[in-house]
Amino acid sequence: MFSEFAALIVLLPVIAFVLTLFLGKKLYSGGALLPIAAIAGSFIISVGIFSEIFPTHGMVQQSFPWFAGMNIGILIDPLAVVMLMMVTFVSLLIHIYAVGYMAHDPARPRYFAETSLFTAAMLSVILSDNILQFFISWELVGLCSFLLIGFWYHKPSAAAAAKKAFLVTRVGDVLFLAGIVLLYVNMKLLIDNGTLVMESRSFILQFRTMFEAIPLIDGTQLTYITLLFFGGAIGKSGQFPLHGWLPDAMEGPTTVSALIHAATMVTAGVYLVARTFPMFAATPSTISTGVPDSLLIVTYVGGFTALFAATMGLVMNDIKRVLAYSTVSQLGYMMLALGTAGTVLGAKAVGISMFHLISHAFFKALLFLCAGSVIHAVGTNDIREMGGLFSKMKITAITMLIAALALAGFGLPFEGLGMPIMNIGTAGFFSKDAIIEGALEYGEVTHDMIPYGFAVIAALLTSIYIFRLWFMTFTGKPRSERHSHESPRVMTGPLMILAIFALLFGFSQTGFYGYVEKNFELMDVNIAVHEGEAFHPSALVILLPVIVGVLGLLISYIIYNKRMLDMSKLVSSGNPLYKLLYNRYYEPKLGADIIGVKLTHDVVARSGEFIDRKIIDGLVIDNIISNTLLKLGEIVRKLQTGVVQNYASVTIFGIALLLIILRLIFGGT
């Protein structure tokens, strides 16, 4: 019954967008209730569809021809339905929270309209049934992120961050589009020579047709296509080397950061790779035996990003920047999971990656909303000026601690110790452990332990930076004279709900894997698994993620709470390593200044300006076209004397002439 209303999942927030944009000023609290109601509606429909297709392992498919050779449609398979529920749920909570957070902003109608459209665009990405529709929605997500990052556009830094986000993700988007074009060319070729038979040409870029064609497409071409897709994912999900826009995107309101980082934007890249996973898994193995080339690259980009971003998270002083690097790092984990587990476990990798994506969405949204609550109370982003907030903001402090524990992956691995008790832990414990285990198994099978190394070291750093953040914010003595208070109920409510999910979501692990990994079987796609020797990790290895998590907590506790170690020597501009990290590996300098300003602006844009101004405008237009027209005008304008009699004389003369001509032509007496 709900399946018939699948299109409403996207349409409701779109309607809310239009209404809020035009009527928001006249409605209660800037029209916040419209998007909230619309997204609540989307959430209810999503859950309804889930309850319908879950027992039968079914799918919802609706598709119509759109224009020449393309279709528009809805595909809700297990992968999409879990994403739909997560996005609508998290977005709903963030919207409710924003009622409190944005209470004093005069531009609220614009804010709520844009976040509503943002959510709609992401939902449309999720339930697209073909890659073109996916791409269009993907671009809409990019547009909305631009609008929202630059929400306070009168701040130059926010305007610059919005521009950076738009331009950097654009690099990925162009690659993605190139991938689609290449795929289309290949598919068309297959259809033209009769290898691929399909009912209607308008379904050429549907995911189903794409998967059908996998065995028919040339392997090298498939590698190019998937790598171009992955280029899009790198841009959207902030992977190295296109990660720089994501920390800068902190210039928007904190609720926007929460939306971007948890629900509506960066996960789109991971979702793209998960969605087209059978294509990645089918690429030939030329670099490393048994490992599909594309998955190898996904593994290394993801693993490196996970570690790379975590190192920068260690030294940032802006509460939101730390969280931003954390997101980049965690997205790296998701990519790593798709790459490593995809090689050794096949379709199960999608389950592992999506499980981390969703548990990450809960605790990262929670972290951001807590950070927003702190910023709302203290009025600064700098954790050096915070401290001692625990007694003043108990709910925020405790919920943020829960989120930090989830991010660091705390839990009790009873099963790993051989005890007949179920594992108990936070959501991050279940989801991250599975990824690290997958990386280990990948290492055992392919004798390549580097991804595993990335994952474990990054886990240690994650734990250090997140507890550094927590200790510096909530414990110790207040380091500045600021009046702080707990946030209103409308803000703490969503925090508590998210905290419950960050704590308990992990227990759905087995069911989740079982459900999502069937996704591609439903579409009759088989994913090859790289076979290797049977693998039984030792107890120490199983415990390692938890051990490094606890270790990180202890290190942070000693340094930032007890202040037993003097860090001033390390944390100073004299230390080259600190300088490197603090300057974010000189990425802003290299990316924005050299590539952005020097190359793009000074070389490309200037030469374009030269051609346009001097050659086209200067020679062609100035000399030939405009000069002729100007001279003609000089002559004709003299007719306007401003003397009424002249006009009257001309008019009468003209009429007389006309009468004479008519008389001559038609005759008469």
Binding site for other proteins (CB under 8 A): 637-638, 640-645, 648-649, 652
Minimum gap (Å) between residue 643 Cβ and other proteins:
5
- The dihedrals phi and psi of 425, each to the nearest 5 degrees, come to 180, 180
The answer to whether the CB of 336 falls within 8 A of the CB of 352 is: no
Of 573 and 640, CB closest to other proteins? 640
DSSP string, 592-651: IIIIIIIIIIIIIIHHHHHIIIIIIIIIIIIIIIIHHHHHHHHHHGGG----HHHHHHHH
Minimum gap (Å) between residue 169 Cβ and other proteins:
53
Of 643 and 664, CB closest to other proteins? 643
Of 642 and 667, CB closest to other proteins? 642
CA proximity to 74, closest of 83, 59, 57, 61 = 61
The answer to whether the CB of 338 falls within 8 A of the CB of 273 is: yes
Which helix H or strand E contains 232, and what residues bound it? Answer: helix 219-236
Q: Cα separation of 635 and 487, whole Å?
A: 73
Minimum gap (Å) between residue 641 Cβ and other proteins:
6
Of 535 and 653, CB closest to other proteins? 653
Of 569 and 631, CB closest to other proteins? 631
Minimum gap (Å) between residue 629 Cβ and other proteins:
16
CA proximity to 552, closest of 439, 372, 396, 432 = 432
Rounded to the nearest 10°, the torsion over CA 28, 30, 34, 40 is -100
Minimum gap (Å) between residue 624 Cβ and other proteins:
25
Minimum gap (Å) between residue 651 Cβ and other proteins:
10
Minimum gap (Å) between residue 625 Cβ and other proteins:
22
Of 153 and 647, CB closest to other proteins? 647
Q: Cα separation of 518 and 314, whole Å?
A: 39
What is each CA distance from 244 to 43, 168, 308, in whole angstroms?
Answer: 32, 8, 12
Minimum gap (Å) between residue 166 Cβ and other proteins:
48
Of 391 and 645, CB closest to other proteins? 645
Minimum gap (Å) between residue 639 Cβ and other proteins:
8
Q: Cα separation of 189 and 476, whole Å?
A: 67
Residue 304, SS3 per DSSP: helix
Minimum gap (Å) between residue 662 Cβ and other proteins:
18
DSSP string, 51-98: HHHHHHT--EEEEEE-STT-EEEEEE-HHHHHHHHHHHHHHHHHHHHH
Minimum gap (Å) between residue 667 Cβ and other proteins:
20
Q: What HEC string does 337-382 produce?
A: HHHHHHHHHCCHHHHHHHHHHHHHHHHHHHHHHHHHHHHHHHCCCE
Please, what is the angle between helix 427-446 and helix 539-556, to 10°?
130
Of 568 and 640, CB closest to other proteins? 640
Of 480 and 646, CB closest to other proteins? 646
DSSP class of residue 261 equals I
Rg (CA), the chain: 30
Q: Cα separation of 244 and 213, whole Å?
A: 36
Determine the Cα angle at 197 with ends 191 and 199, to 5°. 110
Of 289 and 645, CB closest to other proteins? 645
Of 483 and 638, CB closest to other proteins? 638
Minimum gap (Å) between residue 632 Cβ and other proteins:
14
Of 616 and 652, CB closest to other proteins? 652
Query: Which amino acid, 601?
Result: H
